Amino acid sequence: MPSEGTWVYVVNLRRVYWGRRTRRAIRAVRMVREFVRRHTKADEVVIDNELNNYIWSRSREKPPARVKIIVSIREEEPEEGGERIRKAVVRLAGRKLRPGRYKG
């Protein structure tokens, strides 16, 4: 389980093409969310608008086969008190970044 920091992942979305054609982009967004939750143990996953637009850019029937993402993890205190919340913010990565952990 990674602690606070920034990670780069490549998410394979080929399994989305097994499903119904009209639900592929919806399933791709859900797969990215589940992938991040599984790899970071985050309580809350926030997908950036740029990544969402990239997945939906080729219509709902033809999402990209793989997506390179940057995941920033941080822990936040709730306003009312209680347990800390692990929050993962997911953004679209550039082409030059390699998968792994980055300081920042």
- Global confidence as pTM: 0.87
Strand-pair category, 85-92 with 44-47? parallel
- Model confidence over 51-86: pLDDT tens digits? 999 999 999 999 999 999 999 999 988 888 788 899
Taking the CA of residue 98 as centre, how many other CA atoms within 13 Å lie in the half-sphere pointing to its CB?
A: 0
- Model confidence over 41-55: pLDDT tens digits? 999 999 999 999 999
Q: Which residues constitute the domain of residue 80?
A: 5-102
Work out the number of other CB atoms within 10 angstroms of the CB of residue 38: 9
43, burial (CB in 10 Å: exposed 0-12, middle 13-18, buried 19+): middle
Query: Torsions phi, psi of 11, nearest 5?
Result: -100, 125
Number of domains in the chain: 1
State the CATH number of the domain containing residue 43: 3.10.440.10
